[in-house]
Amino acid sequence: MRTASKMMFTVAAVSALALTACEGEGAGADEVDSDAAPEDLTVGVAMPTQTYERWLNDGAAVEDGLEEMGYNVELQYADDDIPTQSQQIDQMITSGVDVLIVASIDGSALTSQLDAAEAEGIPVIAYDRLLTNSENVDFYVTFDNYEVGVNQANSLLYGLGVLDESFEPADDAPDETLNVELFAGSLDDNNAHLFWQGAIDTLEPYMEDGTIEVPSEQTDINQAATQRWEQETAQQRMENLLTTHYNDGTELHGVLAPADPLSRGIITALRNDGWGDSIEDGLPIVTGQDAEIATVSLIADGVQHSTIFKDTRMLADQAVEAANDYLSGEEPEPNDTETYDNGEIVVPSYLLEVEMVLEENYEEILVDSGYYTEEQVEDGQL
C-alpha cells in the first residue's frame, strides 16, 4: 500500500524546474485541429462510477455543456473498476477523440493511457481528481480540496460546541473530553489525502490539548481509509468501532466522515446500535461532503450535522470551457499554478470554492440558489 506522504502530491512552493516542465509537456492546443467544425470533433469523458449521485450529475452536466456547443461526446462510467476505466480510455483514444476529460478511479493507474493520448496529440483534462505520476496531463479542474477538509473539521468542532457560530473558540465549550472517530476516503484518490490533511491540521491542536480524543486510536489515514469510497465499508467499520470501543458505555460525540454516502453508512450503524434517530435524540455529530439530496434531507431533519457543497455545475462548466479552449486552438486559463504537483509536473489548475452546509443555512445555499427545490429536500430525492 502506498503511504500518505507519497500519494499526496501537492506542494507549497514551486521549483523553477517544475514550472519549466509544466509549460513544455502535454498535448496542448497546438496539436488540435482548431479549424474543424464542432460537429466533427469529439470529447471523451471518463467518469468513475454511477453509484455516487455526484458523478451522475457531473457526467450529465459535462455532456450537456459540450453538446450545447455542438461537440460530440463519448461519456463512459467505469463501475469503480480500474481495468474497465483503462479500457474505456484506450478505446476513446483508438476511436479518435479530440480531447479527454478524466475523473479517475486511481489517479496513478492511467499513465499508459496518458502516454497514448500524448502520442496522438489529445489534450487531457483531469476532472476533480488529480491524474498523477505523468507529465501528460494538460489541465486540472477541481475544488479547493484542502479547504474541504478544513471545513469538515470546523463543522465538526462547531457541532461539538468547541467552536461558536463564527468558528471562534466557544465561551461555553463543553468541559468534558469529546470522543470522535475519523474516516477517510479511498487511498488511491489524491483528493482523499487532501481532505484528510485539511481536517487533521484543523483538529490536531484540539487532539493535542485533550479537547478531543479518538478512543479507537485509529488516527492514521491508512486505518481510517475507505477503499473505493464504499458506503457499506464505512458502515462496517463504524459497526466494528462501536463493538470494540463503545460497548462499555463510552460516549461517542462525533464522527469525521469525508463523503455523504459514507456518512449515511455511519449513521445507519449508529442508529442500528441505538444511538438515537437524530442529533437531538443522541446521535453523534456526523460530517459529510457533496450535498447529496438524501443527505441534505437528513440535515434538514437534524440527523446529519453537515456536508460540503461543491457546485458540480460550475466544475462541469470549467471542464467544458477548457475543452472548448483546446478545440479552438487556445490554452485554458488556470487560476492556480502552484498547488497540484502530480509527482512529475505541477498541473495548471482551475480551483473552485466550497461551502459548508448546516441545518441553519441549507435553505439559503441550496434551495434559494435553485440547486434543489424544497420538495426535493423534503422527499430526499431528485
Binding-site ranges for ligand BGC (CB under 6 A): 52, 54, 128-129, 185, 189, 191, 229, 259, 289-290, 310
Whole-angstrom distance, CA of residue 255 vs CA of residue 266: 8
- If the CB atoms of residues 44 and 261 are measured against ligand BGC, the closer one turns out to be 261
3-state DSSP assignment of residue 301: coil
CB of 42 to ligand BGC, least distance (A): 25
CB of 100 to ligand BGC, least distance (A): 18
Q: For 22, phi and psi rounded to 5 degrees?
A: -65, -35
- If the CB atoms of residues 53 and 181 are measured against ligand BGC, the closer one turns out to be 53
The answer to whether the beta carbons of residues 69 and 320 sit under 8 Å apart is yes
Give the nearest residue (CB) to ligand BGC: 259
Whole-angstrom distance, CA of residue 219 vs CA of residue 200: 9
CB of 326 to ligand BGC, least distance (A): 23
**AA letter at 267:** I
CB of 229 to ligand BGC, least distance (A): 4
The answer to whether the beta carbons of residues 50 and 56 sit under 8 Å apart is yes
CB of 191 to ligand BGC, least distance (A): 4
- If the CB atoms of residues 58 and 98 are measured against ligand BGC, the closer one turns out to be 58
Q: How does DSSP classify residue 169?
A: B
CB of 206 to ligand BGC, least distance (A): 25
**Helix 231-245, helix 260-272: angle, nearest 10:** 40
Cell numbers 481528481: residue? 129
- If the CB atoms of residues 57 and 376 are measured against ligand BGC, the closer one turns out to be 57
- If the CB atoms of residues 47 and 377 are measured against ligand BGC, the closer one turns out to be 47
- If the CB atoms of residues 118 and 128 are measured against ligand BGC, the closer one turns out to be 128
Beta strand 306-309 pairing with 355-358:
antiparallel
